[in-house]
Chain A
Amino acid sequence: MTLLGQFALWAAFLLGLWCVTIAFSGRWRRRPELSQSVIRSVYAVCGCLLVASVALWKGLISHDFNIEYVAAYTSRNLPSYYIFTAFWAGQKGSLLFWAVVLSIFAAAAQLLTSRRYAYLMPYVAGVTSAVVVFFVGVMLFAADPFERLGFTPEDGRGLNPQLQNVGMVIHPPMLYLGYISITIPFAFAVAALLSRRLDTGWIHAIRKWTLVSWLFLSIGITLGMWWAYVELGWGGYWAWDPVENASFLPWLTMTAFLHSVMIQEKRGMLKRWNLGLIIGTFLLSIFGTFITRSGVIASVHSFTQSNVGYFFLAFLVVGAILSFTLLYTRWSLLEAEVQLESMVSREAAFLFNNLLFVGIAFSVLWGTLFPILSELVKGTKITVGPPFFNRVNVPLGLLLLALTGVGPLIAWRKASTANLKRQFIVPAASGVLTLVALLALGIRDLYAIMALALAGFVAGTIMQEFYRGVRARRRMHGESTPVALVHLIGRNRRRYGGYIVHAGILIYFVAFAGMAFKREREATLKPGQSVELSSPFGHTYRFTHVGISQYEALNRIVSAATVEVAKNGRRAGLMSSEKRQHVDSFKRPTFEPSTEVAIRSNLQEDVYIVFAGAVNGTEEAVYRFNVNPLVWWVWFGGLVLALGGLITMWPGGGPLAVSTRRVQAGYEAALVGAAKE
């Protein structure tokens, strides 16, 4: 199967090269059969990479430990679903995963895109194939997933214990899907630039793709936070690690694009900016991959240091030069159709919102790269960790939260003073009331107070928008409130789906603010001994150590430390945190012992118990006990965000009428131009 896999990779590489050559040579414009050939080669590349993927999965499932990748990431006693997911657990497999998913997306883009954008599709095929060729090239020349060993080990090393978690089954694919699908909007943007068809047509063609990409990135990042929380055991979910930052960067610029593209659709403005954002988002996704795979910056998430980083760096530099040069050459074709009419308008609010998104992206990128810069300039190594990022980004984040509430309240084109008064009074009152309530409750953490008060303001905005919409429908159609709400969302999915996304973001901020009040303590307990910890909500938890039991499981020896938990004097149940020593099928230890935390969650707070170890081989256990407020709301915020995203992208929400007219006008202009030629 490895021979078949390698053959499939070579076939994909050569077919991809053919596609790129023909697509960018432009010959297809005079020869329809070449145009067909370009499109068909996209499907052929996809087929080849599917064959290569099946070959790797076959190797994994059949325990072919002569394949270096299989020996490095699986063992005979690894649960079958982790054998399946080991496909993307390591550097080489994840490169193949990236390539095959991109080829599927590329084929889907060809299949699903309306025929009215046929003039873009050969270029789209060329760009997607160029990216696929790059990934396949990296595999063929630097990271071959089918590489064979000179011997066959009796058993493999097994999967890193921290990857043996449900979160790791779904978090990396989601994040990859987000990263990878960014290529499709980028391909359309480049195609629009190459074809000089720069009306809003390409924006309509990519609308669903940008939302898909944003949604996958959002879900992937949230699942990554969840995995870090339940698996890494440090009691938090975001640590500003370089790889976390790398996933956050394209999300920020993509979110900026989703806002600014509305201005282009409605008003024909910001064409250059939107193209720049899409190109920047794609390059940031490649930058993220470079950070993860090069080892240039230390991160707990990185793959093993390898030379593939050089390939990514070269691809990043070449991609940036070509894309921005192309944008520069089309600069004069990208004039705005109208000018901004007022500083106090939705357009201006969106511009400032974009500025903040891009500003936060810059600040995260700057902080991530600052250690390298410092070493280059000063020759001294420094660490840039959470205190730096919190200091720089939290104020920007709070400004962004404020704009989330302000934007929807301001009218398009120009807002009058009367309009502003009418729109702002309820949200502002909501924010002020929240602030007063927080102060009355004795909360004094400045950032937490600001976040929660602004959350009150944004909640006021969102509720006002829904209330007015429902009221208008009730008045016009005589509908009941629930029916009016459903119809309101259904008839204007982009707008109200967007508000639901805002509600998700608001919930995130509230939950993040909660972590300012977490409590923790360490304790060493003999069986029967207890320790108490009070929570910020005024509850008192009593933890009584029951004992440590040891038993064997499928691929590990488990030492479980059990604690009886009482809340406010009433028994709440038993919680077990574990130490796991993973072993291969010959009972040989494969990794250092890992820790599994015990978590009990409710709407107010999480009880989070970490078994740190035993004293001198006895049942006397060392624990860390945490009470983490509002963590449940982080995951709920993620669900609300995803729901809002799904509503926004649900089929049928089509482009705005005004935007469609703009495309038709562009098409007519192109026809007239062609006729003159």
Chain B
Amino acid sequence: MNDILSRRGFLRSSALSLIPLQAFDVVQSLARGQQGDSLAGRGATGTLRDPSVIGRPRRPTDPKENDREIQAIEQQLACNCGCTLDVFTCRTTDFTCTYSPELHREVLALRDDGKTAREILDTFVAKYGEKALMAPKPQGFNLWGYLLPGVAVGGAAVILAAVLRRREAATTNATAESSPPQVAASPEELERLRHALEEVKD
């Protein structure tokens, strides 16, 4: 029955959960400071005490990984691990993914073969299907995807403008028919009115 919390324990847990949220960081950082000695590696390039807890071993960075063109290509390619990220973001974020580093190597190999960005993207589409691209090509049925929102908003705006114009005309006519004869205000009166309106304008 040790795992049943005492009433005091329950209240303490509840109170802790109500600590202002910023305090969590403070509490955590304090706690971190009290958690044992550092187990640093040995020497300038010493080995780690437990490399298994650090995730998949990494290769040294290839200079091409900072190549803007390579990054731009990879940002147009979807990782196929199911993460919904592009290859560049996945391989530099989700370090447990084994797919994105492999896709990255494919991009580098195609680049080394002298292929252009367009050809690399086409190669990926040929190999993995259209889902390899982060956004579908704007052609065929996909054009609907790109154009429909704009067309819908534009069309609705045109219709709305036409309806409003018709109603405006109807209202103007009705007002003209029903309104009493207009009496012109003097410039002083108009100025007073303008000031008054400015002050009460909502």
Asked if A553 and B35 sit within 8 Å, CB to CB, the answer is yes
| Cα(A377)–Cα(B164), bound, Å | 37
Q: Which of A76, A169, A521, A593: most chain B CB closer than 10 A?
A: A593
Asked if A367 and B16 sit within 8 Å, CB to CB, the answer is no
**Which residues of A are found within 8 Å of B44, using beta-carbon distances?**
526-528, 619
**From residue 397 to 446 of chain A, which have CB atoms closer than 8 A to chain B?**
411-412
A355-B149 contact in complex given A387-B76, A548-B40, C-beta closer than 8 Å: no
| Cα(A531)–Cα(B28), bound, Å | 30
Contact with B along A350-361 (1 / 0, CB 8 A): 011001100100
Size band of the A side of the interface? 35 or more
Which one of A381, A527, A622 lies within 8 Å of B131 (CB-CB)? A381
Instruction: For residue B200, give the distance in angstroms from its CB to the closest CB of chain A.
Output: 9
Instruction: For residue B122, give the distance in angstroms from its CB to the closest CB of chain A.
Output: 15
**From residue 32 to 76 of chain A, which have CB atoms closer than 8 A to chain B?**
61-64, 76
Instruction: For residue A567, give the distance in angstroms from its CB to the closest CB of chain B.
Output: 21
Contact with A along B61-95 (1 / 0, CB 8 A): 10001100000000110100011111001001101
Contact with A along B126-138 (1 / 0, CB 8 A): 0001111111100
A614-B57 contact in complex given A341-B168, A382-B133, A559-B48, C-beta closer than 8 Å: yes
Size band of the B side of the interface? 35 or more
Asked if A384 and B153 sit within 8 Å, CB to CB, the answer is no
Contact with A along B38-70 (1 / 0, CB 8 A): 111100111111111111111111000110000
Instruction: For residue B75, give the distance in angstroms from its CB to the closest CB of chain A.
Output: 8
Instruction: For residue B163, give the distance in angstroms from its CB to the closest CB of chain A.
Output: 9
**Which residues of B are found within 8 Å of A593, using beta-carbon distances?**
53-55, 95-96
B184 interfacial contact with A, CB 8 Å? no
**Which residues of B are found within 8 Å of A235, using beta-carbon distances?**
93
A411-B60 contact in complex given A83-B13, A550-B50, C-beta closer than 8 Å: no
Asked if A298 and B84 sit within 8 Å, CB to CB, the answer is yes
Asked if B93 and A233 sit within 8 Å, CB to CB, the answer is yes
**Which residues of A are found within 8 Å of B135, using beta-carbon distances?**
383-388, 391
Nearest B residue to A472, CB-CB = B199
**Which residues of B are found within 8 Å of A612, using beta-carbon distances?**
58, 92, 95
**Which residues of A are found within 8 Å of B12, using beta-carbon distances?**
80
Contact with B along A613-624 (1 / 0, CB 8 A): 111111110101
Instruction: For residue B154, give the distance in angstroms from its CB to the closest CB of chain A.
Output: 9
**Which residues of B are found within 8 Å of A615, using beta-carbon distances?**
57-60
**From residue 361 to 403 of chain A, which have CB atoms closer than 8 A to chain B?**
362-363, 366-367, 370, 374, 377-378, 380-388, 391-393, 395-396
B193 interfacial contact with A, CB 8 Å? no
Asked if A396 and B153 sit within 8 Å, CB to CB, the answer is yes
Instruction: For residue A213, give the distance in angstroms from its CB to the closest CB of chain B.
Output: 22
Instruction: For residue A403, give the distance in angstroms from its CB to the closest CB of chain B.
Output: 11
B152 interfacial contact with A, CB 8 Å? yes
Which one of A340, A559, A589, A624 lies within 8 Å of B171 (CB-CB)? A340
Q: Which of A370, A391, A617: most chain B CB closer than 10 A?
A: A617
Asked if A549 and B38 sit within 8 Å, CB to CB, the answer is yes
A557-B50 contact in complex given A84-B17, A298-B84, A615-B58, C-beta closer than 8 Å: yes
| Cα(A63)–Cα(B41), bound, Å | 37
Nearest B residue to A581, CB-CB = B53
Asked if A620 and B45 sit within 8 Å, CB to CB, the answer is yes
**From residue 227 to 279 of chain A, which have CB atoms closer than 8 A to chain B?**
232-235, 239, 241-242
**Which residues of A are found within 8 Å of B14, using beta-carbon distances?**
84
A619-B46 contact in complex given A370-B145, A552-B35, A579-B54, C-beta closer than 8 Å: yes
| Cα(A348)–Cα(B166), bound, Å | 13
Which one of A299, A352, A383, A617 lies within 8 Å of B51 (CB-CB)? A617
**Which residues of A are found within 8 Å of B10, using beta-carbon distances?**
61
Contact with A along B1-13 (1 / 0, CB 8 A): 0011100011011
Which one of A351, A472, A528 lies within 8 Å of B160 (CB-CB)? A351
**Which residues of A are found within 8 Å of B170, using beta-carbon distances?**
339
A343 interfacial contact with B, CB 8 Å? yes
**From residue 13 to 39 of chain B, which have CB atoms closer than 8 A to chain A?**
13-14, 16-17, 19, 21, 24-25, 31-32, 35-39
A523 interfacial contact with B, CB 8 Å? yes
Which one of A241, A377, A581, A613 lies within 8 Å of B141 (CB-CB)? A377
Nearest A residue to B52, CB-CB = A581
A674 interfacial contact with B, CB 8 Å? no
| Cα(A553)–Cα(B9), bound, Å | 21
Which one of A359, A366, A393, A411 lies within 8 Å of B156 (CB-CB)? A359
A342-B84 contact in complex given A552-B35, A579-B55, C-beta closer than 8 Å: no
A195 interfacial contact with B, CB 8 Å? no
Asked if B171 and A81 sit within 8 Å, CB to CB, the answer is no
**From residue 142 to 179 of chain B, which have CB atoms closer than 8 A to chain A?**
142, 145-146, 148-150, 152-153, 156-157, 160-161, 164-165, 167-168, 170-172, 175
**Which residues of A are found within 8 Å of B150, using beta-carbon distances?**
363, 392, 395-396
Which one of B13, B132, B161, B198 lies within 8 Å of A343 (CB-CB)? B161
Which one of A388, A412, A550, A554 lies within 8 Å of B39 (CB-CB)? A550
Instruction: For residue A527, give the distance in angstroms from its CB to the closest CB of chain B.
Output: 5
Instruction: For residue A401, give the distance in angstroms from its CB to the closest CB of chain B.
Output: 15
Asked if A366 and B145 sit within 8 Å, CB to CB, the answer is yes
Asked if B49 and A550 sit within 8 Å, CB to CB, the answer is yes
Asked if A169 and B148 sit within 8 Å, CB to CB, the answer is no
Asked if A62 and B55 sit within 8 Å, CB to CB, the answer is no
| Cα(A387)–Cα(B146), bound, Å | 11
**Which residues of B are found within 8 Å of A527, using beta-carbon distances?**
44-45
| Cα(A553)–Cα(B39), bound, Å | 12
Residues of chain B at the chain A interface (Cβ within 8 Å): 3-5, 9-10, 12-14, 16-17, 19, 21, 24-25, 31-32, 35-41, 44-61, 65-66, 75-76, 78, 82-86, 89, 92-93, 95-96, 129-136, 140-142, 145-146, 148-150, 152-153, 156-157, 160-161, 164-165, 167-168, 170-172, 175, 198-199, 201-202
Q: List 28 A-B contacts (CB under 8 A).
A: A239-B84, A241-B84, A342-B168, A343-B164, A352-B157, A366-B148, A383-B131, A385-B86, A385-B134, A385-B135, A386-B134, A386-B135, A523-B61, A528-B44, A547-B41, A549-B39, A550-B48, A550-B49, A551-B39, A553-B32, A557-B53, A581-B52, A613-B55, A613-B57, A613-B95, A614-B51, A615-B57, A618-B45
Residues of chain A at the chain B interface (Cβ within 8 Å): 61-64, 76, 80-81, 83-85, 166, 169-170, 232-235, 239, 241-242, 298-300, 339-343, 348, 351-352, 355-356, 359, 362-363, 366-367, 370, 374, 377-378, 380-388, 391-393, 395-396, 411-412, 468, 472, 476, 492, 495, 521-524, 526-528, 547-554, 557-559, 579, 581, 589, 592-593, 595, 610, 612-620, 622, 624
